[in-house]
Amino acid sequence: MSIAKEKEGTIYGWAFVAGQKIIQRFADLYGEEKADKRMENLLLTLRSELIADRFKRTLIDYLIEVRPEVGIPEEIKVERRWRVDEFYRYSTAILAGFLDAVNEWKTKRVGVKKGRRRVTKHAG
């Protein structure tokens, strides 16, 4: 595995775990219904950033706001400009990790809601 692919995988893994903690924190702060919308807003905001420095700054701002108790990878916290290829690799890995975390969270919520429903049998 190349070093670039290995770093991308590490960033994705971090983003997945961070995404899970961020959405849980949103649920704690704003309720489960609003947590979905807050996370979708985060994804859309990050997706709209076309400049690497603004992407990193926006990501850091959200992490500061939510404080999800995850470490920040060196590639993100180090004050070094990303090259264009790094920006596309890292931003894609982060967005994919966050999106997968949201999808997993939604799937778990749907499963919990279905588990709460009682099945009633009609006499007849």
Q: Give the tens place of pLDDT for each residue, 18-50.
A: 999 999 999 999 998 899 899 999 999 999 999
Q: Left (φ > 0), alpha (ψ -120 to 50) or beta: where does 47 sit? A: alpha
Q: Is residue 63 part of a domain?
A: yes
- The DSSP 8-state label assigned to residue 36 in this structure reads H
Q: Is residue 101 part of a domain?
A: yes
Nearest to 87 by CA among 61, 60, 49: 49
Tell whether pTM > 0.85: no
> Is residue 102 classed exposed, middle or buried when 0-12, 13-18 and 19+ CB atoms within 10 A define those classes?
buried
Residue from 7, 4, 102 nearest 46 by CA: 102
If one counts the domains in the chain, the total is: 1
Give 74-115 pLDDT, tens digit per residue: 888 888 899 999 999 999 999 999 999 999 998 988 776 666
Six-digit token string for 84: 């264009």
Q: For residue 26, is it within any domain?
A: yes
Residue type, 86: E
In a domain, 46, yes or no: yes
* Residue 124 lies inside a defined structural domain of this protein: no
Question: CB of 36 within 8 A of CB of 108?
Answer: no
Confirm whether 98 is domain-assigned.
yes
14: containing domain: 3-110
Q: What is the spatial distance between Cα 80 and Cα 105, in angstroms, rounded to a whole number?
A: 33
Look at residue 42 and tell me if it is in a domain: yes
